Structure 1
Amino acid sequence: MPFIKMEAGKMDQAQKETLIAGFTEVASATLGIPPEAFLVLIKENEMDNWGKGGRMLSKVLAEQKRGN
């Protein structure tokens, strides 16, 4: 059973459904394997669990929103 995994920040249900359908469609067409064979996992992470440039991503993004 083919397995596709994506890690990202928080998403709403519609975004997850779109990603799952899209990943499955592209992988199925590319590999010639029926869509029913694929398992897709979306792992959501809090922005405090990510780091960029030695700083928590939540702080980096907050500063970008403020225009700093």
Structure 2
Amino acid sequence: MPYILVQVTDEGVTREQKARIIAGATDLMVEVLGKDPESTFVLIDEVKTDNWGHGGEMVTLRRQRERRGG
């Protein structure tokens, strides 16, 4: 019974994109491990950019700096 956790920042992932992620992750478990899609669970966790860090910095601040071109 695979349980797949996909974490992304909450930056406008659409319902269609989420559906594709769920289908793709399930298909991968079927193809690679021979798992039953009916027993495969996929959870998409959208994390606020204030709660996600990269390179020692809050993603919110990194995005703001990138938008300013720096």
Q: State the TM-score, normalizing by the size of structure 1.
A: 0.89
Counterpart amino acid of residue 4 in structure 1 = I
Distance 2:55 2:33 in 1: 37
Aligned match of 1:7 = 7
Three-state SS of the structure 1 residue aligned to 2:43 is strand
2:28 corresponds to which of 26, 44, 61: 26
Query: Does the 8 A contact of 2:6 with 2:43 survive in 1?
Result: yes
What 5-or-longer segments of structure 1 have no aligned partner? none
What is the aligned-residue RMSD (CA, Å)? Answer: 1.1
- What is the TM-score normalised by the length of structure 2? 0.86
Partner in structure 1 of residue 67 of structure 2: 65
Q: Aligned partners of 1:57, 1:33: CA distance in 2, in Å?
A: 35
What is the deviation of 1:53?
3.0
How many correspondences in the alignment?
68
Secondary structure of 1:42's aligned partner = strand
Question: How much identity, in percent, do the aligned residues show?
Answer: 38
